[in-house]
Structure 1
Amino acid sequence: MRRKNYMLRLWLLLLVVALATVALYFLPEQVGSWQIKKVDLLSDLRVEDDSSQTELARQSMLSADFMERRRKQSERQPQEEAGFPVRDSLAMRDSVYQHLRKQNPSDSTLALFEDYSPSHTGLKRLFSSLRSGSSLGRPVRIAVLGDSFIEGDIFTAHLRKMLQRKYGGGGVGWMPITSQVAGFRSTISHQFSGWKTMNMLHSKGKHNLSGYYFLPQQGGSSVSYKLPGDSSSIHMATRISLYYQAERGSTVSLKTVGDSTVVVDLRPTEGGVGEYRWQGYTKRVRLSVPPSDGLSILGMSLEHSDGISVDNFSLRGNSGLALSKIDVATSSSLCSLRPYDLIVLQYGLNVANAKQLNYDNYYKQMLSVVAHLRKCFPGSDIMLMGVSDRAQRSTEGFVTMPAIHRLLAAQRRIAMDSGIVFWNTFLAMGGDGSMVRMVAQGQAAKDYTHISFAGGKKIAEAFVRAFELEKKYYDAIE
């Protein structure tokens, strides 16, 4: 009787097991509504990489070293600066600031403005304009440039509301003509039709601070805005401005109060930016534009003639590097009509990558971006917001992505070496694991990346606390 040969079956079984093992490697993280949990059989033996924490510690030492070098520089070369007499030396200013910090209640989550300007006056323009009040003849303007983290007026809506309640002003500031999130934004009702949208990520052209310009199409184009809420001052606009570029004269119509329509003749701008301004109380405005060759609309603004105006310039997918495409001449022309006291840069979500821990190249490129912005807006203070927390799945659940620490450290270096102000958004959120906590509290989306309006309020409150301490400092050294 012949014995059966099981060798072939053994090899077939081994092949099936091998193929199944390889297939497991390519399993998706989610199938339909089912989340697949990763299991690490060697997790108890694996040594966790603490390089991110080491990098944070190194950056903390660099920051302390920067302050020490600035102190020694102050002792060697006390010098007079515009607006500050000799007696207001750098050492004295740092001393005043430290005294104010000690007066504040101890709060480990309080994220202060880190001023890396050589003279500790990185926000001099902003607070000087704020002190001027109504004599300034315009609102104090803050531009917040960012990515999808702030689109829909998230963060800026609450920041604007808090600052306007304290320092006056109203309206929503700058508005694009078209928007991907018009239906999502709660601070204004926004409708539009008949426009071609050009943005700096996907099209060439002489781009301005917003990163957009808009071309009217055949058949005519229109856009309308309506402010929500009651008729209180903060929910009204007293100044409507239209910003445009025109190769030749064009005619548009503007409807504001009631049913009356104003026909506006837009003059050629000869390569610069033009402005048409309407004064009066209103909650709504509608712009109609016939087919017009050579006419570009940059945007409109709804604000007050005093107080504070906060503009939201969000551009989905922007890492911040695209700001190098802003045209210097266009920016200079726009700023002569609409000067900004502070430009805030909020970027990082489109840069952070779970597989990348080295951000030296981004650091170098952003140094050039900041230098370019200074060339475009020489009269504006600049602040860089650090990247927000972002979580990724691990064997322990969702945790802060290690790359966030590295990118945050690179951003602080950008601020230090550019001599601008830095604000730690990550710390303001609550540090490690804050995104997970915010998701649980309904303050962030379940992509563990983007915040909600409630989350934006939390971050805005932290920003305003830092703003108020900084104002005390500038009031003290005036």
Structure 2
Amino acid sequence: MKNYLSRTFILTLLVVVALLGLHFLPAITINGYTLRRVNLLSDVEVKEPEPELLDTVPLPPPVKPAFVDTCKTGLTCIEDYADSTQRGMKPFYEALSHVSQRPVRIAYFGDSFIEADILTGDLRDLLQARYGGCGVGFVDITSNTHGFRQTVRHNFGGWRTRGILDSLGYDPARLGLSGHYFIPREGAYVEAQTPKVSRGRLDSCEVATIFFENKGPVTLTTTVNGVDGEPRTVEGNGRLQKLDCTGNIKRVRWTVNRADTATFYGFAMDGRTGIAVDNFGVRSSSGLTMRSIPMSRLRQFNAYRPYDLIVLQFGLNVATPRGSNYDGYERGMLTVIEHLKEAFPQAGILVVGVGDREHKDEEGNLRTMPGVKNLIRYQQTIAAKAGVAFWNLYDAMGGEGSIRRMVQAKPAQANLDYTHINFHGGKVLAKQLYETLIYGKEQYDKRKAYENEQ
């Protein structure tokens, strides 16, 4: 019988040599994911800490008001870079002083981090509990998250949906505030009712409104709390229009009896006073497409639904693992902010930085993407250049490794993609933002009193 021991030894030696050689090859990246490098000695070698990616953007200059704010321990405070036009937090804080006389509205734009009303739903609950108000605010006619959204039961049928992220087949001139528009067939309907689980101020609303644009007549039947109203016909004028119903509304349904040339945009459930928070979460959005929404339509929405604060929370679809240059994104977002300033001249604007996002490094270890940290610097610079406010969500989450800790929490507060929070995590971060807003309002009132005494 032949002795194969020597051959086995040679084969093993060749495999070890090959694996050691693979260790010296550069890391391979496929579709943004870096494959783990081969390292036979990973369990015994002493690891040096991975060097941080150098910051490529200088910090914006600090704001130096006459009254110096001090941030309360445990909070990540808002940094307000407002110039003489006062487009930071002042419009919102001033509006809160009149919340018992009129609605104070927040438009919260973002990506999949906030879709299905994650974070914004709990922020709305907290603000309405303190300042009053009711209802879920603005909702698109159709939604791909309606099945698991917890703040409204939403049903619909008979609609064609078009959106700003569609690769083809949509008309940019018809885009609405959310970046979508909806075309009805005869008999199309949309229905909303209170959540399955009681959420206090969401259990009913006082005003329900549907928004549309039409060149010819539109006939709608509105059903409130199961009682059909008389069909109402609205003549066309080629501009944004709305149809309201009022009362103690727990369930509302609009049915399209006739709409030959109409484009629909969404509906809203609100109070006559108090806080309204509108969630505009668009999956895969970088925020840059907001430049494409026609100025005329934004202004028409502002006439019906003026906002006191516009929040812009993007970045998940912009950050790359080793990204260090986001100059193009900075230019684009500055254009977006100017677009919104012109359309909503009364609104304050708050840029929220991207949250923690982790990836596997070359050794297979989960670490915060260095590119995320650079993007946050850019977002802070965007706010400073635009003269608006900035909130560092990454710091509020806990900084380096925070999304991993949220995944490991009991119950889990984030998903296993180490990118997105879940409803539990949304509640935690909403409380952080709520307390920051309340503290900012208190500091604003103190500063205002101080300045009046001078």
TM range (shorter): 0.7 to 0.9
- 1:95, distance to aligned residue in structure 2 (A): 3.7
Match of 1:403 in 2: 371
Is the counterpart of residue 159 in structure 1 residue 123 in structure 2? yes
Describe the shift of the 1:376–1:276 C-alpha distance in structure 2 as closer, same or farther (beyond 3 A): same
- 1:232, distance to aligned residue in structure 2 (A): 5.3
Match of 1:416 in 2: 384
Match of 2:320 in 1: 353
Is the counterpart of residue 210 in structure 1 residue 174 in structure 2? no
Q: Distance in 1 between matches of 2:280 and 2:30?
A: 35
Q: Distance in 1 between matches of 2:181 and 2:235?
A: 18
The alignment covers a number of residue pairs equal to 425
Match of 2:285 in 1: 318
Which one of 242, 250, 271 corresponds to residue 283 of structure 1? 250
Q: Distance in 2 between matches of 1:363 and 1:233?
A: 38
2:210 aligns to what SS in structure 1? strand
* Counterpart contact for 1:221–1:291, Cα < 8 Å: no
* Counterpart contact for 1:169–1:234, Cα < 8 Å: no
Q: Distance in 2 between matches of 1:430 and 1:196?
A: 42
Counterpart mapping for 1:99-138 below 5 A: 101=70, 104=72, 106-107=73-74, 110-119=75-84, 122-136=88-102
Describe the shift of the 1:421–1:264 C-alpha distance in structure 2 as closer, same or farther (beyond 3 A): same
* Counterpart contact for 1:164–1:234, Cα < 8 Å: no
- 1:292, distance to aligned residue in structure 2 (A): 2.5
- Name the one with the larger helix percent: 1
Code of the aligned partner of 2:383: A
1:194 aligns to what SS in structure 2? strand
Q: What do the CA deviations read for 1:68-127 (whole angstroms, capped 9, x no partner)?
A: xxx5xxxxxxxxxxxxxxxxxxxxxx24342xx26x3x33xx111110012577222212
- 1:39, distance to aligned residue in structure 2 (A): 4.8
Code of the aligned partner of 1:210: S
Which one of 171, 176, 179 corresponds to residue 143 of structure 2? 179
* Counterpart contact for 2:323–2:370, Cα < 8 Å: no
Code of the aligned partner of 2:150: S
Match of 1:48 in 2: 50
Match of 1:381 in 2: 348
Q: Distance in 1 between matches of 2:418 and 2:353?
A: 17
Percent identical pairs in the alignment equals 36
Match of 1:142 in 2: 106
Q: Distance in 2 between matches of 1:449 and 1:402?
A: 14
* Counterpart contact for 1:97–1:473, Cα < 8 Å: no
Cα RMSD (Å) of the superposition? 3.1
- 1:241, distance to aligned residue in structure 2 (A): 0.6
1:134 aligns to what SS in structure 2? coil
- 1:246, distance to aligned residue in structure 2 (A): 0.3
Q: After the TM superposition, which of the residue ranges 433-442 and 15-24 deviates more from structure 2?
A: 15-24
Match of 2:445 in 1: 475
Q: Distance in 1 between matches of 2:251 and 2:260?
A: 27
1:457 aligns to what SS in structure 2? helix
- 1:288, distance to aligned residue in structure 2 (A): 1.0
Match of 1:96 in 2: 67
Q: What do the CA deviations read for 1:343-378 (whole angstroms, capped 9, x no partner)?
A: 100100000111422212211211111111112222
Code of the aligned partner of 1:176: D
Describe the shift of the 1:232–1:359 C-alpha distance in structure 2 as closer, same or farther (beyond 3 A): closer
* Counterpart contact for 1:191–1:225, Cα < 8 Å: yes
Code of the aligned partner of 2:435: R
* Counterpart contact for 2:113–2:421, Cα < 8 Å: yes
Q: What do the CA deviations read for 1:217-268 (whole angstroms, capped 9, x no partner)?
A: 2x53111111124595542111001111001111011101233333121221
Describe the shift of the 1:291–1:250 C-alpha distance in structure 2 as closer, same or farther (beyond 3 A): closer
Q: Distance in 2 between matches of 1:348 and 1:446?
A: 19
Match of 1:195 in 2: 159
Which one of 208, 215, 240 corresponds to residue 247 of structure 1? 215
Which one of 392, 417, 420 corresponds to residue 450 of structure 1? 420
Q: Distance in 1 between matches of 2:164 and 2:152?
A: 24
Describe the shift of the 1:178–1:122 C-alpha distance in structure 2 as closer, same or farther (beyond 3 A): same
Match of 1:342 in 2: 309
* Counterpart contact for 1:216–1:291, Cα < 8 Å: no
Q: What do the CA deviations read for 1:369-392 (whole angstroms, capped 9, x no partner)?
A: 111111222221111000010011
1:181 aligns to what SS in structure 2? coil
Q: Distance in 1 between matches of 2:237 and 2:396?
A: 43
Match of 1:82 in 2: none
Is the counterpart of residue 371 in structure 1 residue 338 in structure 2? yes
Describe the shift of the 1:17–1:141 C-alpha distance in structure 2 as closer, same or farther (beyond 3 A): same
2:67 aligns to what SS in structure 1? helix
* Counterpart contact for 1:429–1:435, Cα < 8 Å: yes
Describe the shift of the 1:263–1:434 C-alpha distance in structure 2 as closer, same or farther (beyond 3 A): same
Could you tell me the TM-score, scaled by structure 2's length? 0.86
Q: Distance in 2 between matches of 1:192 and 1:300?
A: 12
- 1:50, distance to aligned residue in structure 2 (A): 1.8
Could you tell me the TM-score, scaled by structure 1's length? 0.82
1:132 aligns to what SS in structure 2? coil
